[in-house]
Amino acid sequence: MDSKILKTSTLAVLILMLIVYSANAQNSKQINQDFSLKGDVSLIGKWHGNQIKLRWGFDHPQLWYHHLKRPISLYRRNVTKNGKYEKLADILPMDSTGMEQLAFQTKDEMVVVSLENIHRNWSNTNFDSYANILEKNDNFHNRWSLTHLAADRSFAAAKASGLGFLDTPPNSDDIYAYKIAAEGNAIISDYKVIYKKKDFVPAIFEIIEAEEKVIINWDKKLHDYHFTAYWIETSTDGINFKKSSDVPFIQMVDVSVKDERRFYSYSLPVSNYQKTFIRLIGIDPFGDESLPSSVEIGMGRDKTPPPPAYLIADSSKTHLTKSFTIIHDSPQEVASYHLERTFGNETMIIKNWLDPKQTIGIDSVSTEGIYKYRIIAVDSAGNEAHSPFIYAKMYDLLPPAKAPKLQAIPDTSGVISLYWEAHPESDIIGYNVYAADGKQRNFTKLNTHIHRLHVYLDTISLALMNEKRYYYIVAVDNDYMLSPASDTLEVKRPDKMPPAPAHIANYEVTDTSIRLTIFPSSSRDVVKHELWRKEADKPYELLANLLTIPPYYEDKSIAPSTKYTYHIVAIDELGLKSKAVKEIHLLSRNLKAGKPSLNLNENEGVLMLGIISEIPTSENVIVFKSVNDGPYERWTVTDTFPIKDLAKGKNKVAYRAAYCSNAGLVGPLSDKIIWTSKTN
């Protein structure tokens, strides 16, 4: 047998993937159990010009073998004219002589496959009964599957094998249905209605580029409705295509295994970085080839990383720096080295840390600690090889910088509140606080343990006669090295100290107000708090006297889109005021309200005030009225116009209006509209 036929034969494991298509039963099958054999027959068809190609197959070897010598009957019905089924033919496989002549005339290799598996070498297996046949299970199943495979590849082989028929119906404009029966109703296929439909063109879903190959994926479920095999064609110029193999691609799946794959995949050998044009051609169960898919472009890519390098850390102590040496046997394969550094849960990769000609590099950090390192060798294709991890200790050998500047707030209760900004270095663990009653006296450390906050409260005796007290702080890092002392802060002790300051701790800007959360003074002799507000660039004005501090203070007297500044002071029993330590700068929200447009008519002493503009949703109109040049007074709130007003006894009436929301927000006033009595 020709070697190409042998290649094709070895591919076939199961063939009925090509004809297991959905078919709706016209009537329930009534099988004569006396003639029933294991298995079933499935039927498909398609229009071919003015003719209809029909294909069928047996889903079990026993049934196929039974009908090698017993004909099946093919029936046709005109669906358009509601006709009845009429018998077209009794069909058997062609005899061996006829197949030999057909193979010689057509040079069709698939006809030879059908001849070999239907007529040749049966005597070698002693198939004299079903029991003996099933003893030769592998041989028997291969004959059955290869016969169906050949029928898929060639319609001539299908007809020769008794698995295909070409029908010329009377009228190509009508719709026809077909069915198969055999041996007095021993089997009846599902009927198949044949419609004319547009030929399906396959589509490549994606191309994955790999080392010296590309992987082509296409949708399995979509293409299974149309094709049973595929040609994959390639080209180097996008014009002249050739098949990638001598035999088509057939994806065989054991029917006993649940196949949940979404795609068919085909691995195509290609050269790295050489552009390859790829297209897909489907082969349907009638042996017909589809139009080619759209052309996709792919190429092989270098995916092999270089050999890994090794990293060695210098053991000497240097301030927050470390020298590393790279050991690599194949630096010629490397384009650059990346350095990966991990500290705690933070990982950083320093790209292009060294080029392949360098072997020693320096890394610097800002914080003392144990770091994890590895070197990444990167080739020109971007492939990475990671070295093993190493650990290196970074040492902070310098004391911290000078401590931050101190500030202080004394109060009348004898408490001096010291506060300062955080030290800029991240390894600071706390501070020591020092105080003295004279600038030239010895300073005493106030804290017994390292003070970890940025606020310190120093309680002093009010009976002392010293007018001033002096402070400085020293920062301490995690190696317990001390920074230079901060500048010395001089704090004046008045005869009567004002109260400790209050401050605004939080705020919230709403559509209609500004809410302030107030943190009161800590002084015990405070009797009230004054809340001050400044609008834009205007001077401060007293907003509220607070005898008690509410959960929050709500300022509703604000205008839209306006800058406001707030601060609060505490006042003690003697009237001394605390400092305003913190101003809050806020911007009220923009209400985006328009102004109404009014019209006014007079008829026999009755004024009719109307509105031209549309009233916004969920809003009313507030109307103001002025009589005889008097002040404007609120007249009514409504969403219904026009409004009636009596003109009697009035010489001049003017109206203005504004939109008013349900929340009480009032928009800008309209232009005034005036009625004047004609008697004036």
Q: What is the residue-averaged pLDDT of the chain? A: 84
> What percentage of the chain has pLDDT greater than the value 90?
50
Number of neighbouring beta carbons within 10 Å of residue 640: 9
Give the model confidence (pLDDT) of 139-189 as tens digits: 778 888 899 999 999 999 999 999 999 999 999 899 999 998 876 555 666
Residue 294, both tokens: 């759209």
Average pLDDT over residues 38-52: 86
Banded model confidence at residue 299, pLDDT cuts 50, 70, 90: very high
Average pLDDT over residues 205-234: 92
> What percentage of the chain has pLDDT greater than the value 70?
86
Residue 549 near residue 577, CB atoms below 8 Å: no
Average pLDDT over residues 662-667: 68
List the one residue out of 353, 483, 387, 362 whose CA is nearest residue 427.
483
CA geometry: angle 384, 388, 390, nearest 5 deg: 125
Give the model confidence (pLDDT) of 519-532 as tens digits: 999 888 799 999 99
Pairing of β 242-243 and β 229-235: antiparallel
Residue 372 near residue 387, CB atoms below 8 Å: no
CA distance 179 to 181: 7
Residue 305 near residue 385, CB atoms below 8 Å: yes
Average pLDDT over residues 353-382: 92
What pLDDT does 494 receive? Answer: 56
3-state secondary structure of 629: coil
What pLDDT does 590 receive? Answer: 64
Question: Tokens 């093993």 correspond to what residue?
Answer: 388
Helices and strands (H, E) in the chain, number of each type: 8, 44
Tell me which of 127-131, 545-549, 594-598, 667-671 is least confident.
127-131
Average pLDDT over residues 206-213: 92
**Torsion sign over Cα 499, 500, 504, 506:** negative
What pLDDT does 94 receive? Answer: 93
What pLDDT does 28 receive? Answer: 36
Average pLDDT over residues 556-566: 87
Banded model confidence at residue 437, pLDDT cuts 50, 70, 90: confident
What pLDDT does 276 receive? Answer: 94
**CB neighbour list of residue 454: distance below 8 Å, 6 or more residues apart:** 419, 420, 421, 422, 431
CA distance 677 to 607: 11
Residue 337 near residue 308, CB atoms below 8 Å: no
What pLDDT does 10 receive? Answer: 31
Question: Tokens 């078919």 correspond to what residue?
Answer: 23
The DSSP output letter for 278 is E
What pLDDT does 29 receive? Answer: 42
Number of neighbouring beta carbons within 10 Å of residue 71: 14
Residue 122 near residue 192, CB atoms below 8 Å: no
Residue 668 near residue 645, CB atoms below 8 Å: no
What pLDDT does 588 receive? Answer: 80
Average pLDDT over residues 606-626: 86
What pLDDT does 531 receive? Answer: 94
What pLDDT does 19 receive? Answer: 33
CA distance 402 to 405: 9
Give the model confidence (pLDDT) of 583-599 as tens digits: 888 878 766 557 889 99
| 670 pLDDT more than 50 | yes
83 or 255, greater pLDDT: 83
Model pTM score: 0.49
Banded model confidence at residue 447, pLDDT cuts 50, 70, 90: very high
Burial environment of residue 95 by CB neighbours within 10 A (0 to 12, 13 to 18, 19 or more): exposed
